Structure 1
Amino acid sequence: MTKLLITSDTHLPVRRPTRRVLPDELWAAIDAADVVVHAGDWMDPALLDELERRTPRLIGCWGNNDGDELRARLPETAVAEVDGLRLAVAHETGAATGRERRCDARFGPGSHTPVDVLVFGHSHIPWDTTTPGGVRLLNPGSPTERRRQPSCTYMTAEVSDRALVAVRRHELPPGAARAS
């Protein structure tokens, strides 16, 4: 069994003065994971450095708010295998309407890049569905910017026998992304 930590849209600013940090609960989940998946909008290359330092395996992509340094270090779409599970990570999948059809065309069984799971971000809206072609679509939301959601979120899951199991969305307490 392989433990996954799934996050996106951390939006840690590089130049703006802010007190935003990754919540302690998320760092604990990162430290407990075998694989960390990040679906873009890091904004601060120092976060990528820190995750690479403390994570056994990192799978990530860049997002629309990521600058040249992150785009040079990360792919637009990451594709990897985790214990036989085929996984893709992309920041944006477009509007919710038609998402399953579009994702099946790009990542479904008849595509050039068939995967079992697609992790995406951008909307900050948690999402967990399966396309008609069988691709599991996961958006973990954001651990730092809830926007119109009731809380900031991230996900955990496990890979067992080439399947994704125990998928769980975690809600963070209000103010957890602010430094004291």
Structure 2
Amino acid sequence: MRLLLTSDTHVPTRARSLPAPLLDAVDDADVVFHAGDWVDTATLDLLQARSRHLVAVHGNNDGAALRERLPRIARADLQGVRFAVVHETGPARDREQRCEARFPDTDVLVFGHSHIPWDSRAPGGLRLLNPGSPTDRRRQPFATYLTALLDDGHLTDVQLHRLPPRR
């Protein structure tokens, strides 16, 4: 099963549209995760139309229309792997321990907010993944998103994809 993880798309405030490589990856994915800060409902509509299965939440920059359509926390059980999606996890310091306590029945936590890619494990095994942002790299060298494979209940081949600079 092919997974795509994205967050903090911020359309149209940080970009006019989603990058073509990201949309191609959406088309190829079996499941798309979006960890919030969409900003507009048109981007949600676009990903809902293009995704086979979308697991998504709202973020702190999302207004009432998005908050009505998306939860604060989303969950999915895929091949026995328990995923949770949330926008914000707080400061980087002690993130693993804090998230493991907050999401005890979760194997993989997808989060956003910082625009900083993150891949770590908590002491008890919780995997934390932040795909960065495909549109607003902030202090990062590249705009990014993640892909991964889920094979027989195992998350493998987690890859951070760098997007070319916008023109």
Q: TM-score, normalised by structure 2?
A: 0.97
The answer to whether 1:118 aligns with 2:109 is yes
Structure-2 residue corresponding to 1:171: 162
Instruction: Give, as a single letter, the amino acid of the residue that structure 2 aligns with 1:68.
Output: A
Match for 1:31 among 24, 27, 36? 27
Shift of 1:118: 0.1
| Structure 2: distance between partners of 1:67 and 1:117 | 27
Match for 1:139 among 110, 113, 130? 130
CA contact under 8 A between 2:15 and 2:135: conserved in structure 1? no
| Structure 1: distance between partners of 2:49 and 2:24 | 15
Structure-1 residue corresponding to 2:55: 59
The answer to whether 1:107 aligns with 2:103 is yes
| Structure 2: distance between partners of 1:25 and 1:140 | 14
Give a deviation string over 1:114-162, Cα, whole Å, max 9, x none.
1110000000000000000100000000000000000000000011111
Q: Name segments (4+ residues, structure 1) moved above 6 Å.
A: none
CA contact under 8 A between 1:20 and 1:144: conserved in structure 2? no
Shift of 1:85: 1.0
The answer to whether 1:129 aligns with 2:120 is yes
Match for 1:152 among 143, 146, 151? 143
Give a deviation string over 1:48-105, Cα, whole Å, max 9, x none.
1111111110000000000001101110000111121100000000000010110110
Query: 1:64-79 maps to which residues of 2 (within 5 A)?
Result: 64-79=60-75
Structure-2 residue corresponding to 1:7: 6
| Structure 2: distance between partners of 1:4 and 1:74 | 20
Q: Percentage identity across aligned positions?
A: 60
Q: TM-score, normalised by structure 1?
A: 0.90
Instruction: Give, as a single letter, the amino acid of the residue that structure 1 aligns with 2:85.
Output: V
| Structure 1: distance between partners of 2:15 and 2:165 | 14
Unaligned stretches of 5+ residues in structure 1: 109-113
Secondary structure in structure 1 of the residue aligned to 2:18: coil
Structure-2 residue corresponding to 1:111: none
Shift of 1:20: 2.4
Shift of 1:19: 5.5
Secondary structure in structure 2 of the residue aligned to 1:75: coil
RMSD: 1.1
| Structure 1: distance between partners of 2:80 and 2:124 | 18
CA contact under 8 A between 1:42 and 1:62: conserved in structure 2? yes
Secondary structure in structure 2 of the residue aligned to 1:46: helix
| Structure 2: distance between partners of 1:19 and 1:170 | 18
